[in-house]
C-alpha cells in the first residue's frame, strides 16, 4: 500500500526492472509480451500458481482488436487454428430466432476462443522468451507510487523481496491490491449491481447452434454458446440467492430446453464439466492511473458478460498502455502516459453503456411490470425489423479498432 513501511529484511540482490506487472491474467500477460517485443524489460507478479491460473474458466469472444494484439505479440497461432470465426449471432424472440449478420452489417466478425486457452498461449509465449513470472507471490504491496521511484515488496517462499521500477501496471483484477493502493480521495467509483446472476454449465457436447443465441424468455434470460465444435457453454439467469446444489444437471438442461425456443430441439445433453453461479455488476474506477501506477482490465472496470466485453476491454487498455510505455522509453515522451486514463475510459464507458443496455434488453428484472415487459418486447421487435438498429447493435458487438 502507498506509504507502507518497508520490511526490514530483503532477499538480495535487490531487483530493478522498468515495468512491474501485477497479475498473470490475459491483460498482464499481453502487456508483458507487447513490451518485451519492443525490448522493454518487465516482470509479472502473480499470487496464484500456474496451474490455478491456467484452469480458470472464463468467456472467450474476441473482438478484432484483441485478435490483432495477439498476432502482434506472437501468441495467435493456436487461436487462428482452433478459434471459431462467427459472422453473426441470434436473438430468440417469442420462441423464434432472428439473426444479426455482423459481417454483412459492419464488415467484421468475432472469434470464439476460450479465455482459458488464450491464457495458456500467452503464458507459453512469455516463458518461450524467458520472460519472468513470479508465481505464488504473496503479500504484494505497492510503495511510493506517486513518486518517481516506486517499488514493490512481496513474499516468496517465506522471504520478502523488493523490486524497484519506473512504472507499475495493475492487472490484478477486481479484488487485487492495485486499485486499493490508490488513496480513496483520488479515485471515483461507479457501480451498478444486478439483482440476478448467471448459472453456467460447461459440457462436452456439440453446440445447439453454430453461433451464439441470446434468449429473452418469460422465465428469464438464457445464452447458448460454445468453446469448440464439441464443447458447449450454456447460461441461464437465476436469482442471486440460488445454490449450485439446487441445480443438478438435469434441472439445468430442462430449464435450457424451456428457454431456448426453436433451438431447444438441437440441444445435446451431457454431464457438466463445470458449473458456477456468477453475479453481474457494472463497475468503473476513474481515473485509471495514479502517479506511476496504471490500472488495466478488471482492476479498473467490470461489465456484465452479456455483451462479451470484459476480456476485450482489458485488451484495449493494454493497447493504450503499451503504446504509452513504448513512447516513453523509445521517444522520451510522457504525453501518452498522461492521457492513458482518458483514452481508455472513453472506450470503457461505451462498452459499459452497451453491456448495460443489452442486459436490460434480454433479462427479466424482479421489479419488471407488464408495461416494462411490453416495452422490452417492442424494442426487440424493432431491432428484428430495422436494419439501422441491427447495424448499431452489430457495431457495438464487434467492437472498434483503434
What CATH number is attached to the domain comprising 230?
A: 3.30.9.10
CA distances from 161 to 29, 45, 54, 345 (A): 21, 11, 25, 34
On whether both 164 and 287 belong to a single domain, the answer is yes
Domain assignment of residue 104, yes or no:
no
Question: Nearest Cα to 309, choosing from 341, 274, 347?
Answer: 347
Domain assignment of residue 380, yes or no:
yes
On whether both 312 and 322 belong to a single domain, the answer is yes
> What does the block give as the cell for 33?
509480451
On whether both 37 and 165 belong to a single domain, the answer is yes
DSSP 304: -
Q: Which residues make Cβ contacts (< 8 Å) with residue 49, sequence separation at least 6?
A: 135, 136
On whether both 275 and 263 belong to a single domain, the answer is yes
Domain assignment of residue 99, yes or no:
no
On whether both 301 and 337 belong to a single domain, the answer is yes
On whether both 138 and 240 belong to a single domain, the answer is no
> What does the block give as the cell for 343?
483514452
Catalytic entry in 113, 194, 340, 397: 397
On whether both 151 and 271 belong to a single domain, the answer is no
Domain assignment of residue 215, yes or no:
yes
Structural domain range at position 125:
15-83+111-190+281-358
Dihedral sign for Cα atoms in the order 233, 237, 243, 247: negative
On whether both 226 and 246 belong to a single domain, the answer is yes
On whether both 127 and 175 belong to a single domain, the answer is yes
Whether 86 is catalytic is yes
Whether 243 is catalytic is no
Domain assignment of residue 89, yes or no:
no
Catalytic entry in 2, 86, 217, 301: 86
Domain assignment of residue 229, yes or no:
yes
Catalytic entry in 26, 207, 304, 305: 305
Quote the pLDDT of residue 149: 96
On whether both 186 and 335 belong to a single domain, the answer is yes
Q: Residue 274's beta-bridge partner residues?
A: 202
Q: Number of structural domains, the chain?
A: 2
Catalytic entry in 113, 194, 214, 320: 214
Quote the pLDDT of residue 3: 41
pTM for this model (two decimals): 0.93
Whether 210 is catalytic is no
Domain assignment of residue 102, yes or no:
no
Domain assignment of residue 4, yes or no:
no
Whether 175 is catalytic is no
On whether both 215 and 177 belong to a single domain, the answer is no
Catalytic entry in 301, 309, 320, 340: 309
> What does the block give as the cell for 178?
492495485
Whether 366 is catalytic is no
Q: Write the CATH number for 122.
A: 3.50.50.60
On whether both 213 and 326 belong to a single domain, the answer is no
Per the CB < 8 A criterion, the answer to whether 29 and 44 are in contact is yes
- pLDDT tens series, the chain, 402 aa: 444 444 434 444 468 999 999 999 999 999 999 999 999 999 999 999 999 999 887 778 999 999 999 999 999 999 999 999 999 999 998 889 999 999 999 999 999 998 999 999 999 999 999 999 999 999 999 999 999 999 999 999 999 999 999 999 999 999 999 999 999 999 999 999 999 999 999 999 999 999 999 999 999 999 999 999 999 999 999 999 999 999 999 999 999 999 999 999 999 999 999 999 999 999 999 999 999 999 999 999 999 999 899 999 999 999 999 999 999 999 999 999 999 999 999 999 999 999 999 999 999 999 999 999 999 999 999 999 999 999 999 999 999 876
Amino acid at each position: 500500500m502507498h506509504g507502507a513501511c518497508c520490511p526490514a529484511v530483503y532477499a538480495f540482490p535487490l531487483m530493478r526492472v522498468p515495468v512491474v506487472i501485477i497479475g498473470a491474467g490475459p491483460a498482464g500477460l499481453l502487456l508483458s509480451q507487447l513490451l518485451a517485443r519492443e525490448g522493454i524489460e518487465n516482470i509479472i507478479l502473480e499470487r496464484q500458481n500456474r496451474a490455478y491460473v491456467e484452469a480458470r474458466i472464463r468467456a472467450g469472444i474476441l473482438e478484432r482488436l484483441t485478435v490483432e494484439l495477439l498476432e502482434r505479440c506472437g501468441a495467435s497461432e493456436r487461436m487462428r487454428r482452433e478459434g471459431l470465426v462467427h459472422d453473426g449471432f441470434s436473438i430468440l424472440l417469442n420462441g423464434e430466432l432472428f439473426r444479426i449478420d455482423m459481417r454483412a452489417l459492419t464488415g467484421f466478425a468475432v472469434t470464439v476462443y476460450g479465455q482459458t486457452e488464450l491464457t495458456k498461449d500467452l503464458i507459453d509465449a512469455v516463458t518461450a522468451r524467458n520472460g519472468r513470472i513470479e508465481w505464488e507471490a504473496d503479500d504484494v504491496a505497492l510503495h511510493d507510487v506517486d513518486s518517481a521511484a516506486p517499488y514493490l515488496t512481496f513474499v516468496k517462499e517465506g522471504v520478502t523481496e523488493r523490486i524497484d521500477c519506473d512504472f507499475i501496471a495493475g492487472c490484478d483484477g477486481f479484488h487485487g491490491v492495485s486499485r486499493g493502493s490508490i488513496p480513496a480521495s483520488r479515485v471515483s467509483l461507479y457501480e451498478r449491481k444486478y439483482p440476478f446472476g448467471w448459472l453456467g454449465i460447461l459440457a462436452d457436447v456439440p453446440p445447439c447452434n453454430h453461433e451464439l443465441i441470446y434468449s429473452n424468455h418469460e422465465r428469464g434470460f438464457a445464452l447458448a454458446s460454445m468453446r469448440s465444435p464439441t464443447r458447449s457453454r450454456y447460461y441461464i439467469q437465476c436469482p442471486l440467492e440460488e445454490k449450485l446444489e439446487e441445480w443438478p444437471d438435469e434441472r439445468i438442461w430442462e430449464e435450457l430446453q424451456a428457454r431456448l425456443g426453436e433451438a431447444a430441439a438441437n440441444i445435446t445433453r451431457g454431464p457438466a464439466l463445470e458449473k458456477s453461479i456468477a453475479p453481474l455488476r457494472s463497475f468503473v474506477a476513474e481515473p485509471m492511473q495514479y502517479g506511476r501506477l496504471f490500472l488495466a482490465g478488471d482492476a479498473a472496470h467490470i461489465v456484465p458478460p452479456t455483451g462479451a466485453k470484459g476480456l476485450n476491454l482489458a485488451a484495449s487498455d493494454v493497447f493504450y498502455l503499451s503504446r504509452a510505455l513504448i513512447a516513453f522509453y523509445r521517444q522520451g515522451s510522457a504525453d501518452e502516459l498522461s492521457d492513458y486514463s482518458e483514452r481508455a475510459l472513453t472506450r470503457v464507458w461505451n462498452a459499459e453503456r452497451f453491456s448495460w443496455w443489452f442486459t436490460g434488453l434480454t433479462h427479466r428484472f424482479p421489479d419488471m411490470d407488464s408495461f416494462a415487459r411490453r416495452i422490452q418486447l417492442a424494442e426487440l421487435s424493432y431491432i428484428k425489423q430495422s436494419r439501422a438498429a441491427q447495424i448499431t447493435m452489430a457495431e457495438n458487438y464487434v467492437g472498434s479498432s483503434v
